[in-house]
A and B are shown apart, each in its own frame.
Chain A
């Protein structure tokens, strides 16, 4: 105890002596310099962010990002937990073992392979059809002057603003009359004719894009004897990369996630064949999630209780394809939005 006391005293004396020895003037200047540096480091200076604002940015982003990442992580982790882990308060984030049974059960309940195929056919195909139609229309709106153009553009915007459910009922009756309810045509036909999910947005994106691109290119090709449709196909379309990427990617994602229309038009379809492959139902994966509890009972018998972990494993399986698509293409996602001209010039 005593020894420590003397040690502290001697250190304090040493510091005081050092400070005095340096001379008051120099010491003060050094202190000011050091303070200035600290200030610069903490608050930042010209063009360079300081540590404090930067830390604030990290804290805000991390805590808000937490909100998005948490349910996804939770789902991911829970899907691989044993029933014992799930109720064990000590196991929160790291399962004691990698438990595949939940996923296996969910695969069985969802009929995952079939669901994947159905979902793919009902999202990728309409995405391409919708992109083709809206690119054509957007090109015409951006490139040519024709009577009533403003009216049709206004119609595109107006019908985007009318909630889907306003036209859903008559659409249903109409489709019933055409005999395309519970067939994939109830999705393909509207997509093909530019009335699919949020088609108007893509028309406006293509319109904006083609309005700003150099017309002289088209005109040069036309003078060289190229027909107008060929100009569109060979010159305009290849140049519209960012707009195409946006249209295809977002269409796929939106179709994949759409459930209201899908349930209404295809939710009750029985076994049928889809592109030569026979499937038990046309329900997409998210629809199978909506009816997961019933499916589970049908598969496992009424006496088995549906564990949360299996539900979450199912949800994980249903979004895994778009999640992977997104992680692979995330650069394109962001860059194409920046380059498509949505935000104006």
Chain B
């Protein structure tokens, strides 16, 4: 922008112009690659789609596809519920696990650098097929099928036993989702000044009180960020790689990782409802995910007010 034009415009107008020029590429992308497809997907979910040589033709069909997914298709509901259960459970595990590890890694001790390298491994090895390859072959290395723990949980009340059993079965897999979260928590912990802890110690606070009164309040917003990140990460995670290898899904039940993704991919080419059933399923999935995030937000609010 040359100086003559600059003088003619007020600073505010110049800022607005520069702002829009800078975000222009992203804005174009937003409309072209995200907003338009989202709207189109919404339209498809309430239409009958027929593939014609010139492209897809949409005719309005109301909530037929939603009805199909919820009431006719036998697999959708069970797979959605399984996914929601998985996301909810792993959310809790990942948050606790990553916070504990971050706090431990934040201390001063020998080999800290080495431990950090190990705990951030999941940040780089987070590829569906690789995880399947590793876990599929190595999982029983951790917990045999008929070990003492398993028998213990069989005696527990069913509901509780199932929950614990689920956690144990998936613990290892779920822990692999916590690399970035540990990194973020650790970065947050570094920002808390040591002097705050020292002052608390002089006033007679132990490690336990320090954790609840200093560490946790400082980590509050990061916990929220991490929780949302985790939910989305798991929701987007795909152990398989789309319709290409849907057959490999036979491996999935043991791992319980994200079933919705392959479901949506496979139904894209459904002969009766091409694309439209997938679209409806994906929006229902989004609603369920939004409900989980809303729950996270509510829990956060309650704790926030509690302080």
Contact = CB atoms under 8 A, between A and B. Distances in A.
Interface of A: 46-47, 49, 54, 57-58, 60-61, 64-65, 67-72, 74-75, 133-134, 136-137, 139-141, 143-147, 149, 152, 155-156, 159-174, 177, 189-190, 192-195, 199, 203, 225, 227-229, 232, 253-254, 256-260, 262-264, 267-268, 286-287, 289-292, 308, 311-312, 314-315, 318-319, 322-323, 325-327, 330, 333-334, 337-338, 342-345
Contact of B137 (A173, A189, A308): A308
Interface string B100-130: 1100110111000001111111111111111
Interface of B: 1, 3, 12, 15-16, 18-23, 25-30, 32-38, 40-41, 44, 55-56, 97, 100-101, 104-105, 107-109, 115-130, 133-135, 137-138, 141-142, 172, 175-176, 183-184, 186-188, 190-191, 198, 201, 221-222, 228, 232, 235-236, 238, 240-245, 248, 260-261, 264-265, 268, 275, 278-279, 282-283, 285-286, 289-290, 293
A134 B124 CA distance: 22
17 contacts: A57-B107, A65-B115, A69-B121, A71-B135, A141-B23, A144-B15, A144-B18, A145-B19, A162-B38, A166-B285, A169-B264, A225-B3, A258-B127, A290-B244, A308-B137, A334-B183, A342-B184
A165 B285 contact: yes
Contacts of A61: 101, 104-105, 115, 119
Given A60-B104, A167-B38, A174-B37, A290 B125 contact: no
B116 A330 contact: yes
B119 A333 contact: no
A291 B244 contact: yes
A33 to B, nearest CB: 24
Contact of A65 (B21, B23, B118): B118
A46 B206 CA distance: 11
A68 B119 contact: yes
B22 A136 contact: yes
Nearest to B54: A177
A308 B18 CA distance: 57
Contacts of B187: 334, 337-338, 342-343
B172 A67 contact: yes
Contact of B16 (A49, A145, A160, A267): A145
Contacts of B28: 193
A212 B221 CA distance: 18
B235 A46 contact: no
B22 A267 contact: no
A161 B293 contact: yes
A159 B22 contact: no
A326 B123 contact: yes
A146 B33 contact: no
Contacts of B236: 163-165, 260
B138 to A, nearest CB: 5
B285 A163 contact: yes
Nearest to A325: B124
Contact of B289 (A58, A163, A334): A163
The 8 A-B residue pairs with the shortest CB-CB distance in the complex, in nearest-first order: A193-B29, A146-B19, A140-B22, A257-B127, A194-B26, A144-B19, A263-B241, A170-B37
A119 B12 CA distance: 45
Given A69-B118, A134-B26, A232-B22, A75 B134 contact: yes
